[in-house]
Amino acid sequence: MENTGIWLLIVILIILTHVGLWKLFEKANRKGWEALIPIYNMVVMLRITGRPLWWIILLVIPVINLIVWLGLAVDFAKSYGKTSFLSHIAAVVLPFVVFPLWGFDKNVVYLGPSATDEFRKKYPYRKSAAREWGDAIIFAVVAATLIRSFLLEAYTIPTGSMEKSLLIGDFLFVSKVNYGARVPMTPVAFPFAHHSMPITGTKAYWEGLKVGYHRLPALEEIERNDVVVFNYPMEADSPFYRPVDKRENYIKRCIGIGGDTVRIINAQVYVNGKKGINPEFAQKYHIVVSDGTDFNPQRLVDMNIEAQRQSDVEYLFNMTEEQASEIKGWANVRDVKPYIQPTSVVETEVFPKDPRFMWNFDNLGPIIIPKKGWTVKLDSTTIPLYRRAIEVYEGNKIDLSSDNAISINGQPATSYTFKMNYYWMMGDNRDNSLDSRFWGFVPEDHIVGKALFVWMSWNERGSFLSKIRWDRLFMGIK
């Protein structure tokens, strides 16, 4: 019912906008019905304002068309003598209000194509300095918001869950275009704030208007081993209860896509029965046994290795396989081997957090990742794995009776067909990553974009120019 009301409101606003355009077209000696024909009505607006007809190409390109519309709407208002700042803002964001008002107002007349030199000479108008700054700032904010919403957005790496592939202090560009830009689901929000306002920490968005999940056409599908930014699924729960697009941004590597069977055996990921590709810079804790002599702490810092002493001769080093091979050759090292939890160890925090699944971080699965259109049989074995996806992410109500009978939305159910694709995400820093091993699947509506490259990298431990990691500037992400 809520979605029906929203769509009804949208239809009413569209009708009001076109009624206003009909009347305004007639004032410009055009046929009113021309306002009802998609694309052609934009051609007419270009003629009315004096803009070149080739702009129609820009008006059909996603995202660019929104920026071009800003200029066209302002020019359209000027053509009817509306030169005030508020009139221009209203023409852009409230056309369903002002177009009908101007259209039925007998005092509003068409003055001519405002984008021409003749019009500017005939109706000279000089903006105040404040107006010039106001227009520039608003255009910059709107343009930047559109770019970061639909094209490209900058992110920074705040934690070490992806080290050493991505380091704390890396600044990334993330493409919204590759996987298809997601239409804002909570569109009324403070510019440049994600979910919380700076300083106050209050909500930076308004939940009174919500839009269902929609994406623009994608350049590619998510593939295994892509580094992906997504919204943290667990913020659907208490204490946050945040809308999907306002949940915290996470970055991980996609290990499995919808339809894949994922299993982890002794810390090695298997996808559909085959060994998964291990990231080049993936880290794992290793047990390092020395001959009793200490290690040079500065050397470990230079290698960016986290070390923990367990006994007089035994250490835990968090490092890549390449580093493990190097350290194995050190004169004071007797043994180096990965630290792997045996299958006898059961971690209660591991997904699906059910005692029937005797899993840990290094030994888990097999798990089939849901795929759109895939039907899973529901029973006591599968319901712990898929209940959250069915209930929280796809909006259904599941009830379990005392005899383990399952009902969905009040109807008995022995199976369920998924409406979305899901993904299995893991950090490259395998023993220090909050990822799908803890909370399961990432739904497709949580996907934000694809990490492309590091444009800046800042090392807090460095001094002066060494704070910049020069070798990482404009480094591609793989």
The per-residue pLDDT for range 26-65, each reduced to its tens digit, is 999 999 999 999 999 999 999 999 999 999 998 887 767 8
109-133 pLDDT tens trace: 999 999 999 998 998 877 777 777 7
Q: Give burial (CB, 10 Å; 0-12/13-18/19+) of 370.
A: buried
- pLDDT of 326 strictly over 80: yes
Q: Which residues of 98-120 are buried (b: 16+ CB within 10 A; e: fewer)?
A: bbbebbeeeebebbbbbbeeebe
Contacts of residue 122, Cβ cutoff 8 Å, sequence gap at least 6: 111, 112
Structure tokens at 252: 């991980």
Confidence (pLDDT) at 284: 95
**pLDDT band with cut points at 50, 70 and 90 for residue 138:** confident
Confidence (pLDDT) at 217: 87
- pLDDT of 3 strictly over 70: no
Confidence (pLDDT) at 69: 87
Beta strands in 44-197 (DSSP E): 152-156, 170-175
Confidence (pLDDT) at 4: 63
pTM over 0.85: no
What average pLDDT does range 282-294 have in this prediction? 93
Residue 47 sits at the vertex; the CA angle it makes with 42 and 48, to the nearest 5 degrees, is 95
- pLDDT of 180 strictly over 80: yes
Averaged confidence pLDDT in the chain: 91
57-79 pLDDT tens trace: 988 877 678 788 888 999 999 99
Confidence (pLDDT) at 220: 93
**pLDDT band with cut points at 50, 70 and 90 for residue 5:** low
Determine the Cα–Cα distance for residues 262 and 371; give it in Å rounded to an integer: 13
Contacts of residue 178, Cβ cutoff 8 Å, sequence gap at least 6: 218, 219, 220, 449, 450
Residue 76: CB atoms within 10 A of its CB come to: 27
200-219 pLDDT tens trace: 889 999 988 888 899 988 88
**pLDDT band with cut points at 50, 70 and 90 for residue 141:** confident
Structure tokens at 371: 């795929």
